[in-house]
C-alpha cells in the first residue's frame, strides 16, 4: 500500500515537472518551419513546383500551428522535415489520340508514395499510399492524399 502511494506521488511530481517542459518543446518545434523535400516524379510538376504544392496543401490541413516551406535545391536536410518519395508504378493511356500519338491529358498514373516525418532530426513516422493521379495542381486525388497525410502527421498524431 505504501509503495503504491509513493509511486502515485512520484508519478504526479514527474508529470507536473515535465508537462510544461514538454509543452515548451512542442511549441519550439512548431515555430520552426517543416521543410518539404521531394524525391521522384509526379506528372505535371517539376521538383520545385511539387515541393511548393505539397507545402501549401499540408499547410491548409495542419492549420496555423505548423508552418511548411519547400526545400531549396542542394540544401542540407532540415531538422524538421517531411520527405516525400514518389515512384511511378504504371501509366495507363485512355482512348484519346492526337495525330496518331496518345494524348498526355488522357492518362492516369499509378503512384507509390511514402512520406517520412522527422522532427528535431529524429525520425517519427512513415505513411505510404498508392494514389492514381492525372497530374498537375488541379488533381483532386493528389490534393486529398496530401491533406490526409498532413492531418495524420500533424493534427491527429499527438505523440
pLDDT for res 27: 57
Mean pLDDT across 111-128:
93
Residue-wise pLDDT tens digits, 44-80 = 899 899 999 999 999 998 888 899 999 988 888 999 9
Beta-carbon count within 10 A of 16 CB: 9
Report the half-sphere exposure of 45 (CA within 13 A, side-chain side): 22
Average confidence (pLDDT) over 126-141:
85
Q: What is the pLDDT of residue 63?
A: 82
Which pLDDT band holds residue 17 (cuts at 50, 70, 90)? very low
Supply the pLDDT for residue 113: 93
Residues 14-40 have a mean pLDDT of 64
pTM value is 0.73
Residues 6+ apart with CB under 8 A from 141: 131, 132, 133, 134
- Residue 132 pLDDT greater than 50, yes or no: yes
More reliable by pLDDT, 132 or 10: 132
Residues linked to residue 36 through DSSP beta bridges, in sequence order: 70, 82
Mean pLDDT for the chain overall? 78
Average pLDDT of the segment spanning 128-153: 87
Does 13 have pLDDT greater than 90? Answer: no
C-alpha cell at 139: 488533381
What pLDDT shows up at residue 73?
81
- pLDDT score recorded for residue 156: 83
**Whole-angstrom Cα distance, residue 80 to residue 36?**
9
What's the pLDDT at 26?
56
Amino acid at each position: 500500500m505504501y509503495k503504491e502511494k509513493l509511486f502515485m506521488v512520484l508519478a504526479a511530481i514527474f508529470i507536473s515537472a515535465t508537462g510544461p517542459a514538454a509543452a515548451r518543446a512542442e511549441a519550439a518545434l512548431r515555430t520552426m518551419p517543416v521543410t518539404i523535400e521531394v524525391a521522384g516524379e509526379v506528372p505535371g510538376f517539376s521538383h520545385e513546383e511539387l515541393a511548393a504544392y505539397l507545402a501549401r496543401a499540408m499547410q491548409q490541413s495542419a492549420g496555423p500551428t505548423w508552418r511548411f516551406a519547400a526545400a531549396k535545391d542542394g540544401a542540407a536536410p532540415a531538422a524538421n522535415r517531411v520527405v516525400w518519395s514518389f515512384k511511378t508504378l504504371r501509366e495507363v493511356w485512355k482512348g484519346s489520340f492526337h495525330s496518331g500519338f496518345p494524348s498526355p491529358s488522357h492518362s492516369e498514373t499509378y503512384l507509390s508514395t511514402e512520406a517520412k516525418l522527422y522532427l528535431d532530426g529524429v525520425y517519427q513516422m512513415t505513411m505510404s499510399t498508392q494514389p492514381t493521379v492525372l497530374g498537375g495542381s488541379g488533381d483532386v486525388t493528389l490534393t486529398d492524399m496530401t491533406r490526409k497525410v498532413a492531418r495524420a502527421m500533424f493534427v491527429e498524431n499527438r505523440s
